[in-house]
């Protein structure tokens, strides 16, 4: 059995819950040759392949502020009894007229803390900094980048206090590539989701000792820019 067919029996997680906004839901444009699914769906598929019988639930919903994520999703997430949780929230807060970073951090603290106390390893993600891509008008680049970085720092501080994992995409070189974003310039497209999934699976690999590989893509394409993502998404 080679590395790419490892059944990942050492991955410990059996119940995955995902909470958050459209980032958690996996909204994004399709890209030819990539799976048309979000990064969280790819993670769930990889874990299902590793541990047959793993169950997951995605509670993510579009347009929610962090407070609304907590109000509408936390109880259901806890009732699911997860041992692994992904929390992706705060993106809609930073796009508003005023960004209450401390308020977002407090909401995240309540969610991450509650999930951790129930026995879940919690994973969060830092947004790619789209202001580096040339897609954001110059007048908005500095203030938006500052908010993205503040959200990432506050999110990382929360999850690290609870022994979780923060996947920091903010300074990843892919963030400067305009081809990873959807036409709305708010969400990743399928290529961007593939990169986010790859980075998250690498972090989970480091934590679990398992070698996590997403399910194979339904086709082939060139992956000239992001060899790590290409290596983790095998084609058939």
pLDDT band at 233; cut points 50, 70, 90: very low
What is the structure's pLDDT at 9? Answer: 54
Contact call for residues 53 and 95 (beta carbons, < 8 A): no
- Quote the percentage of the chain above a pLDDT of 70: 85
pLDDT of residue 50: 83
Which pLDDT value is given to residue 51?
Answer: 83
Q: Phi, psi (5° rounding) for residue 162?
A: -110, 20
CB of 147 within 8 A of CB of 94? yes
- If we measure between CA atoms, which residue out of 74, 58, 71 comes closest to residue 23? 58
CA torsion 210-213-214-218 (nearest 10°) is: -160
**Residues in CB range of 151: below 8 A, 6 or more apart:** 90, 91, 93, 94, 99, 101, 104, 126, 127
Structure tokens at 149: 């970085």
Which regions of the chain does DSSP assign to beta strands (E)?
15-20, 55-58, 84-88, 121-126, 165-168
Supply the mean pLDDT for the chain. Answer: 88
Burial class (CB in 10 A: 0-12, 13-18, 19+), 215: middle
Closest CA to 233 of 189, 185, 197, 184: 197
pLDDT exceeds 50 at position 223 = no
> What's this model's pTM, rounded to 2 decimal places?
0.87
Average pLDDT over residues 165-190: 96
Distance from C-alpha of 176 to C-alpha of 128, rounded to nearest angstrom = 8
CA distance 59 to 25: 8
Enumerate the domain spans of the chain.
3-232
1-25 tens-digit pLDDT: 344 444 345 788 999 999 999 999 9
β-strands 84-88, 121-126: how paired? parallel
pLDDT digits (tens, 9 = 90+) for 62-87: 999 999 999 999 999 999 999 999 99
- Strands 15-20 and 121-126 come out as unpaired
The predicted pLDDT at position 75 comes to: 98
CB 149 within 8 A of CB 127: no
Tell me if 220 sits within 8 A of 33, measured CB to CB.
yes
Between 223 and 197, name the one with better pLDDT. 197
pLDDT, one tens digit per residue, over 128-158 is 999 999 999 999 999 999 999 999 999 999 9
Tabulate helix, strand, coil % of the chain (nearest 5).
50, 10, 40
Considering the four listed CATH numbers 3.40.50.1110, 3.40.1350.10, 3.40.190.10, 3.60.21.10, the one that applies to the domain covering 3-232 is 3.40.50.1110
| Residue 98: pLDDT over 60 | yes
Q: In the prediction, which pLDDT does 220 show?
A: 35
| Residue 211, pLDDT above cutoff 70 | no
């Amino acid at each position: 059995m080679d590395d790419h067919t490892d059944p990942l029996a050492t991955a410990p997680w059996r119940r995955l819950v995902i909470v958050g906004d459209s980032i958690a839901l996996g909204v994004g444009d399709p890209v030819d040759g990539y799976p048309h699914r979000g990064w969280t769906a790819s993670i769930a598929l990889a874990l299902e392949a590793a541990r047959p019988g793993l169950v997951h639930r995605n509670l993510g919903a579009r347009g929610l502020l962090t407070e609304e994520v907590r109000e509408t999703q936390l109880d259901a997430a806890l009732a699911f009894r997860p041992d692994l949780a992904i929390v992706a929230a705060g993106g809609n807060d930073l796009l508003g007229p005023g960004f209450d970073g401390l308020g977002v951090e407090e909401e995240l603290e309540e969610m991450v803390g509650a999930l951790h106390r129930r026995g879940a390893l919690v994973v969060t993600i830092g947004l790619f900094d789209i202001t580096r891509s040339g897609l954001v008008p110059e007048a908005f680049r500095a203030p938006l980048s500052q908010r993205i970085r503040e959200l990432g720092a506050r999110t990382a501080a929360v999850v690290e206090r609870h022994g979780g994992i923060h996947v920091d995409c903010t300074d990843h070189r892919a963030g400067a590539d305009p081809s990873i974003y959807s036409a709305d310039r708010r969400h990743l497209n399928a290529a961007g989701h593939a990169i986010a999934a790859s980075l998250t699976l690498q972090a989970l690999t480091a934590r679990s000792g398992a070698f996590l590989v997403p399910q194979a893509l339904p086709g082939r394409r060139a992956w000239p820019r992001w060899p790590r993502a290409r290596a983790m998404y095998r084609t058939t």
